[in-house]
Structures are given as C-alpha cells and as structure tokens.
Structure 1
Amino acid sequence: MALSRRSLLAATLFGTGALAVGPALAQSRPRADAATPLGQWGLEASHFGLRAGSAEDQSRVLQNALLEASKRDAPLLIAPGRYRISSVVLPEGARLIGVPGATQFIAAQAGPLLVVRRIKRAALVGLGLDGLDIRLGQRAGLLAADEVADLSLSDCDFANAGSVGLTLNRTAGRIQGNRFRSMQDSALFSLDSRGLSIEGNQVEDCGNNGIQIWRSQAGDDQSLVRGNRINRIRSDAGGDGPNGNGISLYRAGGVIIEGNTLRDCALTFIRNNSGSGVQIIGNQGRRCGEVALYSEFAFEGAIISNNLVEDCAQGANITNLDHGGRLSVFANNIIRNAQKGLAPKGKEPVGGVGVHVEAEATVTGNVIENASEIGISLGWSWGMRNLVATGNMVRKTGIGIGISLVPKERTALIANNVISEARLGAVVGTEYGKPVTGDLTRGADKRAAGIRVDNNAVS
C-alpha cells in the first residue's frame, strides 16, 4: 500500500484504521487541484491552498475550505504548521481538526481568529490560537461563539490573547481538555449560557480572571465547572471584586463548581455573586490575597463543602443579608492560615477569619486552624439571623467563634464544637466586630439573649 505524508497525518490523528485509505489517496494524487477525501475522516485543507508557514493572511482560503467541508458534511483537517488568519466564520456543522501542539492559527490582525454564530453545532480539536498580544476590545475573544446550540472544543491551546481567550454568548456545549495561557484579561467569558461543561482545562497567567460565567439577568445557568487547574490570576484592572478571581460567577444560578485546583489568585479562588443554588464542592486552593471562597449579594441556597483552602486572607465569606444573601451550608471544609493583611492594591487590612456567615446558615464539620482574628464569624452588625455552628474544630485563633449581638432579636446555636488555643475566648459576643462579652462557654451573659451555647469542648 502506497503511503503519503497526508495519509500518515490521518493515521496520527485517527488511528491505524485511517491507513486503509492510502490506495485511494495514491490514485488521486496527480490531480493536485482536487480536494481529496481521507476516506470517512474528512478533507485536507492543504488541497484548497492552505499553506503552512505562509506570511500571507490565509483567512479566505480557510473560509472556502470550511464551506466546502460543510457542504460535504466532512471534517476539515489542518496539517501541522502556522497559519495567519482573522475572523474566519465556522459554518453549520463545522468540524475543524488539527494536530495538538503542532497546528497553530496566528492572528493576522486585531479581532477574533475564529467566529461561530447562530448555528446548531460546531467542533474544534487539536488547534492552537495565538493572539500575539494584539490588544482587543473588552471581552473580545480569540474564538467568539454567539448563539451556538452545541459547541465542542477539546485539546486546543489559547495563548497571548489581547483580552479573552474564548468568549461565549448564549452558547451550550463542552469545553474540555484545553489550555489557556497568557491572557490579558481572562481565559473564558460566558454570558447567558445555555448549559456548559467546562472540564479538565488548564488556565495560567491571566491578567484579571480565570473562568467567568455571567448572566445579564439572574437565572438558572446549569453550567458545570469541574477538574480545571487554574494558576496565577492577577488583578491588573484593580477593584474590590470583579477582578483577581480564579472562577467568577455573576447572577449565574444552578452552577456546580467541583474538583478544581487553584493556586496564586490575587483576590479569590471562587467568587459567586448573586447566583442561587450554587454548589462549590471538593476544590483545593492555595495562596490568595482576599477571600478564598465567596458567596455574596443576592443569592439563596449556597452549598460549600469538602474544600481545602490554605494561605489566604479569609477562608470563606457567605454574606450580604442586606442584599438578600441567605440560606447556606458550609460543611466539611479545611481552612488553614487565614491571616489578616493587605489585599493586592488594597488600602486597609482585610481578613483573618476562617469563615463568616449571616443568615439561615449551618456551619458544621469544618476544621479551621490558624485564623489570626476569628475562626467562625456568625453575623455582622444587624446581619445575623438563624445561625448554627456545630461539630467544628477550631484551633489557634484570636476568637474561636464570634457572634454579632447587634440585632434585637437573634437566634443561634453553638454546640458540640472543639475549640483550642483561642487567645481571646472560645465563644465571644461582639458588636461591630468588637468583643462585648466574656467567653460564653464559661457562663451566660444577658447581652447574648437568644444565643444557645452548649456542650463545647474548650482547651
């Protein structure tokens, strides 16, 4: 069987079964102007004139090849090499396949390299997209998808984006096993998702955020963010929350964030702003400058469990009863080394707290060690309602468990906790952060009416 370089490429991409098309390729080779099918696998873009290493903008050539492949309902195969393109539009059913780590699309000018809009389905595999650090408009992506019912993206490499690597608007699909590195803004920005699976990606060295899932209005997003590695997220644009986050949700409800590892985030590992029914489960984070795990503003129904957080200003903050933030479970987490200090570009010291909650919240089964100010903070000012802290182990803190006594009516249960080496008291009533009672494990205080403190082990 006669083998060509192209048939060997097909074998590399798809396995040895693709070699069976060798004779057909050999027979058709004399007609260089004909697009040659690789059996059932697809068409080679080189037959349409796409040339690796050319200094020319090859957008039109690639566009024509994609249109022909779409007409034939066939994948388009891109050989290893570098190709300069800009704003190439993927047609309905496009399947664009390269060799991971070897096929690279390079920005020919400012703007997206690839565009997918208002189609049912498209898939990209094994492609590199390099933006050459050409500055783009806010939230402009190297790949821009708009109203796509099923987008599949795997084994792709996004690098040197002048804003965002991948932007998605009203799009559903699977973003799996890709690498995002050196983004001036963020790796991925999704607005009004129709349900995304974002799994097993690697995100590194982003200027402001890692993965962002936002909605224009609060609603049920249903995205899954699982098993991603996110490292070195800066906060170049500053601010007190919109930037510096590994994973950022805004108004996106029903999202599951599970099994991610995060390192060196300027502010927050995972921030949920106004998303109801969000679960943050089994993630691991080390080194962040502000609150590691955040659920804030108008949310209801947050579950934060089985996470491991180390070396942060604050372990977790479940807050903003003043904006309707309520109803949460904080369970079975390990929080270590929450130390008060200056957040990046901050002017006032923050943190020193293991976990803070405000309304209809249960804090149970957690291990909190070495929080410089308070291990567990129950309420702030009047924002304190129906709180439970049971079965936790708190060690080496200022105050073990602090509870706000500002509200006239208050209900809280603090029971069956182990509190060790709390310098300023195991359980202490506070007003606006200042202690106003003695240690409530040693005796009742009339100022703490409505607070039940039972059966805690203190050493």
Structure 2
Amino acid sequence: MVLSRRGFLAAGLTAPAWFHLPARAQSAAPSRGGPLGHFGLDAAQFGLRPGASEDQSSRLQAALNEAAKRNAPLMVPAGRYRLASVRLPDGANIVGMPGQTLLVTANGNPLFVANNIARANLTGLAFDGLDIPSPQRDGLVACNNIGAITISDCDFAKAGSVGLTLHRCGGRIVASRFRGMRDSALFSFDSAGLIIEQNDIEDCGNNGIQIWRSQAGDDRSILRGNRVSRIRADAGGNGQNGNGISLYRAGGVIIEGNQLRDCAMTFIRNNSGSGVQILGNQGRRCGEVALYAEFAFEGTIMANNLVEDCAQGANITNLDHGGRLAVFANNIIRNAKRDLPPNGGEPVGGIGVHVEAEVAVTGNVIENASEIGISLGWSWGMRNLVATGNIVRKAGIGIAVSLVPKERNAVIANNVIDEARNGAIVGTEYGKPVTGDLAKAPDARAAGIRVENNAVR
C-alpha cells in the first residue's frame, strides 16, 4: 500500500509522537522496556497502567532506572497515576503529554525526590497533591543538590505545602503552572543561577516565588515574565508571608517583566539581598508596600515599574540594619492609600515612595498618594538623598524630608508638584510637619537641604 502525502500527515496527527515507528523498529522492540526508536522508552512497557487504583511507584521507578541506564527519555502516556517518593536517577528525562499525564500523590509525600545528581528533566507532567497537608516546605517535587534541573510545561496543583522545592540546585523552571498551594509555589534555598520564567502562579496560601539563602550571598537567579496572582498570608506575620516574589539574603538577582496581582502584602520583597535589580514589573492591588528593599541590603535598582492600588508604592529602608544605596527611577506609582494592613494593627501607607540612605529618586510619576508623594528619611535614618525630575500629583504632602539628623544632606530639585494639599515640600520630624512649604520660602531648620527649581501648582 502506498500512502499519499495527505494520508501520511493525517496519520501523524492522530497518535502520540512516540508511537510513530517504522515496522522494523516495532518488530525488533522487546516486550519489556524496549527502545521506541530514537524517542525513548514507554513506561507502559514496565507495567505502568493509567487509572489504576494502586500505588505504581515501583513500576515507574524501574522504568526510570532503565531509561537512565540507556540515557534515553522515558515517555509516560496520558492517564492518572498514583505515586509517592519516586527517586530521580542521574540523567532522568521524563516526558508526558501536557495536561493529560497526571501524577497524583499516593500518601501526601512528594511524588518525585531527587538527591545529589548532575541533571534531570521533567516535561509535560501534571503533579497533584490533593491538598493533603504536609510538613512545611515539603514539595510535590523535592530537589536537593542538583547541578541542572529543567522543568518545562508542567502543572503543579493543590500542594499540601510547596509545589517545587530546590535546595542547592541550578537549572530552569519555565512555562509551567502552579495553583492552589497551601504555602508557596516555588521555594529555592541556597540555590544559584536559576532561571524562572514565563510561569503562571495563582492562589497560594503564603507566597508565590521564594528565593532564600541561609547566609547572604550571590544567588544570581533571574525571574522573568512570570504571572503571579492571588497570594494570601494565611500564616500571618509582618512581612514573611503574603508576597508575590520574596528574596531573603539572595544577592545578584534580576526580577524583570513580571505581572503581579492581588498580593496580601507585597508584590516584590527584597530582604537583605544586595545587588538586586527590580525592572519593568507591573503590579496591581496589594495590601502593604508594593516594592520593598529592607534590612541589610546594599545596591538595589528599582526602575520602569508600574504599581497601582496599594498601601504604599515602594520602601527602601532600614539604615539601622545597613540598608543603603539604591536607585528608584522612571517608575509610575498610582493610588497609594493609607489603610489597615491585612494582618491588622494600625493603618499604614499612603506614601508613593520612602527612602533613607544614598538613594537617587529620579524621573518617577507619583499620583494620588493619600499622605506623601516622596518621603526622604525617617527619624535619624536619613543620609545623602536626591529627589530630582519627578512628577508628584495629588498628594497630602508632595515631598517630605526628615530634619531629625543633625547632619543631613539632600537635594530636592527640578520636580513638578501639583495639588499637594498640605504643602509641596515640607520638613518633618518623626512624620510631623515642622516647617512651612520649603518650595515657597527657606527655613533655617532645614539646613543641609537644598531646594531649588521646583515647579509647584
């Protein structure tokens, strides 16, 4: 029989790719674990059965071990499989049918565990934790000390704690989906150089993506083009939960082009990470500070971000812990309203941006900040600050500058300030105004503060 070109293409569209084999290859394949041409091994040949009610971990483990021995991919057909604590051998390469190969926890433990291997690859798999509570920071996939792991086009759902944990790993997490986690979608600890991009994350109990380190260090991860939404703060606290993206002691990280929505506390929080760049992100609706650099950080760039509907646009703070050195440039902050925080307590926010030491605030547009557009310093935490070329429109005070330090140094120049109800530029002590409008007349109490060439209406 001679197949027409059209018939050949039609046949190719009606069956999974790994079953398209020449007759010679099919007849030569052994009945158990035989190679499927250059495509790899078929897990069904090791007894893996879709829809079976029993735990099939041992069958998948045998298939994985054989595939790794042959340096071949392991194909897992569409279906539902109950598993627990399957160990990934070095070189594991598992390929499923996206959205159709469903791996379900058999007992609440991780489905896959990987320890001390050079590389692994997971593609087109769906992991379901059935919302069974598990110990804190246990992952549906738990990775420890992997040189390079690649996870692409996978789904993680209903984890009893975390979707994916990475301890001392490198690799790439791309184009995958995380939803319904009790704790967080992805938790990285002491890893380095991860690429986390184009993932969808939603409905997590405490955090979206966490990049943490046991000690401050050069993490070098890149988080780009992810969409993060509906992050709660079920465990409470004053900042460790409720964040779309959370860094702790992780330096050299680039967070770029992400979209964040409806985070209980913060869109992007950098705690004690130095050399961090937060670039071109977009966030709408959060309950506290949208963009945060706090505690022992040095060197943060926040540029070209768009933030709307928050308690506070940005906070670059904690000189008392060594937090210093930043650029806040070309951002748009809209609708910063003083309000009650999600965890209760006194009202917070109403500020476009607050900074403390060695910070340039330049080229930003801040509109509708209920209390202060730009806040320069707090108490004695005020040193070497510049606010130039900004537009502040509709604020309580346009620009507030702390006059508590005996030695102070700030330049406020070439800004446009419109509709500042309580003064365009005002000196404060502990948040209370102590001068008149410095844009209209100098005040001896504001020695060390240069105010010039501002346009006020």
TM-score exceeds 0.5? yes
Instruction: Give the TM-score range, shorter chain.
Output: over 0.9
Instruction: Indicate whether 1:238 and 2:236 are aligned.
Output: yes
Residue 365 of structure 2: which of 364, 367, 372 is its match?
A: 367
Give the 5 Å matches for 1:324-335: 324-335=322-333
Residue 208 of structure 2: which of 192, 205, 210 is its match?
A: 210
In structure 2, distance between residues paired with 1:118 and 1:55: 31
In structure 2, distance between residues paired with 1:87 and 1:186: 20
Indicate conservation of the 8 Å contact 2:93/2:122, yes or no. yes
Identify if the C-alpha distance between structure 1 residues 103 and 8 changes in structure 2 by more than 3 Å, giving closer, same or farther.
farther
Indicate conservation of the 8 Å contact 1:331/1:366, yes or no. yes
Instruction: Indicate whether 1:22 and 2:22 are aligned.
Output: yes
In structure 2, distance between residues paired with 1:26 and 1:383: 74
In structure 2, distance between residues paired with 1:108 and 1:219: 38
Q: Which runs of 5+ in 2 are unaligned?
A: none
In structure 1, distance between residues paired with 2:223 and 2:305: 15
Residue 415 of structure 2: which of 414, 417, 420 is its match?
A: 417
Identify if the C-alpha distance between structure 1 residues 401 and 59 changes in structure 2 by more than 3 Å, giving closer, same or farther.
same
Indicate conservation of the 8 Å contact 1:290/1:350, yes or no. yes
In structure 2, distance between residues paired with 1:201 and 1:166: 13
Identify if the C-alpha distance between structure 1 residues 170 and 13 changes in structure 2 by more than 3 Å, giving closer, same or farther.
farther
Amino acid at match of 2:216: A
Give the 5 Å matches for 1:168-317: 168-317=166-315
- Cα deviation for residue 41 of structure 1 reads 1.2
In structure 2, distance between residues paired with 1:143 and 1:229: 21
The residue aligned with 1:404 is 402
Give CA-to-partner distance per residue, 1:47-71, whole Å, 9 cap, x none.
0000000000000000010000011
Percent identity over the alignment is: 70
The residue aligned with 1:88 is 86
Indicate conservation of the 8 Å contact 2:184/2:206, yes or no. yes
Give CA-to-partner distance per residue, 1:165-197, whole Å, 9 cap, x none.
000000000000000000000000000012100
In structure 2, distance between residues paired with 1:318 and 1:304: 10
Indicate conservation of the 8 Å contact 1:392/1:416, yes or no. yes
Amino acid at match of 2:197: E
In structure 1, distance between residues paired with 2:17 and 2:176: 17
In structure 2, distance between residues paired with 1:9 and 1:174: 30
- Cα deviation for residue 221 of structure 1 reads 0.1
Indicate conservation of the 8 Å contact 2:33/2:66, yes or no. no
Give the 5 Å matches for 1:43-122: 43-122=41-120
Q: Which runs of 5+ in 1 are unaligned?
A: none
Q: Secondary structure at the match of 1:342?
A: coil
In structure 2, distance between residues paired with 1:261 and 1:47: 43
Which stretch shows the higher mean deviation, 277-286 or 343-352?
Answer: 343-352
Identify if the C-alpha distance between structure 1 residues 411 and 346 changes in structure 2 by more than 3 Å, giving closer, same or farther.
same
Amino acid at match of 1:365: G
- Cα deviation for residue 116 of structure 1 reads 1.0
Q: Secondary structure at the match of 2:68?
A: helix
The residue aligned with 1:141 is 139
In structure 1, distance between residues paired with 2:24 and 2:211: 47
Give CA-to-partner distance per residue, 1:309-367, whole Å, 9 cap, x none.
00000000000000000000000000000000011122110000000000000000000
Indicate conservation of the 8 Å contact 1:278/1:301, yes or no. yes
Instruction: Indicate whether 1:393 and 2:391 are aligned.
Output: yes
In structure 2, distance between residues paired with 1:196 and 1:209: 18
- Cα deviation for residue 22 of structure 1 reads 3.2
- Cα deviation for residue 11 of structure 1 reads 6.4
- Cα deviation for residue 8 of structure 1 reads 6.3
Give the 5 Å matches for 1:154-173: 154-173=152-171
In structure 2, distance between residues paired with 1:10 and 1:136: 40
In structure 1, distance between residues paired with 2:279 and 2:220: 15
In structure 1, distance between residues paired with 2:207 and 2:387: 33
Give CA-to-partner distance per residue, 1:261-318, whole Å, 9 cap, x none.
0000000000000000000000000000000000000000000000000000000000
- Cα deviation for residue 39 of structure 1 reads 1.0
- Cα deviation for residue 85 of structure 1 reads 0.2
The residue aligned with 1:458 is 456
Give CA-to-partner distance per residue, 1:437-457, whole Å, 9 cap, x none.
000011110000000000000
Amino acid at match of 1:246: G
Q: Secondary structure at the match of 2:268?
A: strand
The residue aligned with 2:343 is 345
Indicate conservation of the 8 Å contact 1:187/1:203, yes or no. yes
Identify if the C-alpha distance between structure 1 residues 12 and 454 changes in structure 2 by more than 3 Å, giving closer, same or farther.
farther
In structure 1, distance between residues paired with 2:14 and 2:195: 28
Give CA-to-partner distance per residue, 1:189-236, whole Å, 9 cap, x none.
000012100000000000000000000000000000000000100000
Amino acid at match of 1:51: R
Amino acid at match of 2:24: A
In structure 1, distance between residues paired with 2:60 and 2:154: 18
Indicate conservation of the 8 Å contact 1:10/1:38, yes or no. no
Q: Secondary structure at the match of 2:22?
A: helix
TM-score normalised by L of structure 1: 0.96
Give CA-to-partner distance per residue, 1:62-114, whole Å, 9 cap, x none.
00100000111100000000000000000010000000000010000021000
Give CA-to-partner distance per residue, 1:360-411, whole Å, 9 cap, x none.
0000000000000000000000000000000000000000000000000000
- How many residues end up aligned between the 2 structures? 450
Indicate conservation of the 8 Å contact 1:379/1:385, yes or no. yes
In structure 1, distance between residues paired with 2:425 and 2:101: 61
Residue 379 of structure 1: which of 365, 377, 380 is its match?
A: 377
